[in-house]
Structure 1
Amino acid sequence: MEQGIAGRRALVTGAGKGIGRRTVQALHEAGARVVAVSRSRADLDSLARECPGIEPVCVDLGDWEATEQALASMGPVDLLVNNAAVALLQPFLEITKEACDKSFAVNLRAVIQVSQMVARGLKARGTPGSIVNVSSQASQRALTNHSVYCSSKGALDMLTKVMALELGPHKIRVNAVNPTVVMTPMGQANWSDPQKAKAMLDRIPLGRFAEMDNVVDAILFLLSDRSSMTTGCTLPVDGGFLAT
């Protein structure tokens, strides 16, 4: 079945590593023209070697003015994946202003800013589009030491719904994916302790963590024409964690 991705222009944030990097690779393989955004020049350089023809943009999305400048001339974008995020874990009684500011600047405010830029272009051109926000199971379940992260992802879920409500009349769909622990290099490092992993795995009916392609497949589905009647959803990719 035709996905409606080939030939379209896609922008992916947090493209340097993990889910974002694999999303860029998958979109490139599907024939999309990809703008890859990361704050790491080295990651973008290596990604450009793997995926010739992508357009790398190096910027810290936590900086509103720098982001505005970096993306001002990006041109028309049809598909957007808001993947960039930070996870600053602190016990509730030790949460700092800096952790709050950075987390919400990247995990929520940057999503608003980049989505506004893309959606304004789609509206002006009268072109249908699709936006996917990468959220987390932490948006809907309390996790120790994750107060700020859980809160920012909970806000992202609600932002997704309001964006879907307001942008739907302009033929722009907005959805979120909500993964469990994903076996990115960072996920493998953070969950390598068998005791820590067991505590989480015991709450996942399928008994395993997600692989990157599990999440990327869901992202591509929501970007594609195969999900043309789906908007405002938060799609768990969690092995049943949120069902328990």
Structure 2
Amino acid sequence: MARCFEGKTALVTGGSRGIGKALAERLLQEGAKVYVIGRSKENLNKLKVENPSFNTIQVDVSDWDQTKTAVEQIGYLTKKILSILGIEKFEEIINTNFKSAFNITKIVTRGLISAGRPGVVVNMSSVGGLKAAAGFMPYCVSKAMMDMLTKVTALELGPHKIRVNSVNPTILKTDMTKDICENEEFVHVYTSQHPLRKFATVEDVVNATLFLLSDDSAMITGSSLAVEGGYLIH
């Protein structure tokens, strides 16, 4: 194979062993300048001995500030990206939309299991977890995390007779969205994307939630119920 990464720069996280190491080695062979991030100084040193061409960066990537400082050594490749993401707002949204659901689900279902009782969990997600929306990265990511939380907890809690599903609504007409829902231009553009040509209502979401909570959905678990007027069809 031709050296198709000649003149390119690559950043590989977890690149000091396993799949990450194999990928880093292949990128190097293909001509890339390779930066390898790893937590273990010992593994990074071994990698550097094996091939001095690697640029190694020791950092625990779970530490955002430490990672930002370390990775900025690469320069233009990452400085711009890291500044755009906005760590504070991202963490706030993840904490509110995902971690809270995880925490409460854990507390409640532990109690149900201890008491030997069945139960139902319905997470309030969004179509944002099922379809990307430009400018809403943290929100969409948080809702996608919630949808996967729904699936995994449904799998794990099923043997304890606990069902877990999510409701994924589109924009609703509420007090919070009153301004945009009364904007004629927005209403025209937005509803034209929905086969039903209308906004979802709070009642639509409540009805879907009640269905998932009821025995009428006794054989449904691990599902994301989209309440979006067909928005996801196209």
State whether TM-score is above 0.5: yes
Amino acid at match of 2:158: G
Q: Within 2, Cα distance between the matches of 1:225 and 1:166?
A: 20
Pick which of 231-240 and 135-144 moved more: 135-144
Shift of 1:196: 2.2
Instruction: Indicate the SS of the match to 1:185.
Output: coil
- Within a 5 Å distance, the mapping from 1:56-135 to structure 2 comes to 94-135=84-125
Q: Does residue 172 in structure 1 map to residue 162 in structure 2? A: yes
Equivalent residue number for residue 4 of structure 1 = none
Equivalent residue number for residue 232 of structure 2 = 242
Percent identity of the aligned residues?
Answer: 42
Are the equivalent residues in 1 in contact too, given 2:180–2:186 (CA < 8 A)? no
Equivalent residue number for residue 229 of structure 1 = 219
Equivalent residue number for residue 207 of structure 2 = 217
Change (3 A) 1:216 1:115: same
Shift of 1:93: 6.9
Q: Within 1, Cα distance between the matches of 2:101 and 2:180?
A: 25
Equivalent residue number for residue 70 of structure 2 = none
The number of residue pairs the alignment matches comes to 153
Q: Within 2, Cα distance between the matches of 1:183 and 1:154?
A: 23
Amino acid at match of 1:207: R
Q: Within 1, Cα distance between the matches of 2:185 and 2:89?
A: 27
Q: Within 2, Cα distance between the matches of 1:189 and 1:164?
A: 37
Q: Within 2, Cα distance between the matches of 1:195 and 1:96?
A: 30
TM-score, length of structure 2 as denominator length? 0.63
Amino acid at match of 1:172: I
Q: Does residue 186 in structure 1 map to residue 176 in structure 2? A: yes
Unmatched 5+ stretches in structure 2? 1-81
Amino acid at match of 1:198: H
Amino acid at match of 1:174: V
Q: Within 2, Cα distance between the matches of 1:93 and 1:191?
A: 32
Q: Does residue 139 in structure 1 map to residue 141 in structure 2? A: no
Instruction: Indicate the SS of the match to 1:184.
Output: coil
Amino acid at match of 2:183: D
Q: Does residue 162 in structure 1 map to residue 162 in structure 2? A: no
Q: Within 2, Cα distance between the matches of 1:141 and 1:197?
A: 20
Deviation per CA, 1:192-241, whole angstroms, max 9, x where unpaired? 22222322211111000101000000101111111111100000110001
Larger Rg: 2
Instruction: Indicate the SS of the match to 1:236.
Output: strand
Q: Within 2, Cα distance between the matches of 1:122 and 1:190?
A: 41
Instruction: Indicate the SS of the match to 1:145.
Output: coil
Q: Within 1, Cα distance between the matches of 2:132 and 2:181?
A: 18
TM-score, length of structure 1 as denominator length? 0.60
Q: Within 1, Cα distance between the matches of 2:226 and 2:165?
A: 11
Shift of 1:127: 0.7
Change (3 A) 1:93 1:184: farther
Deviation per CA, 1:126-183, whole angstroms, max 9, x where unpaired? 1110000011111111212111101111111111000100000000000001101111
User: Greater helix share, 1 or 2?
Assistant: 2
Cα-Cα RMSD: 1.4
Shift of 1:190: 3.3
Equivalent residue number for residue 186 of structure 2 = 196
Equivalent residue number for residue 149 of structure 1 = 139
Instruction: Indicate the SS of the match to 1:186.
Output: coil
Amino acid at match of 2:130: Q
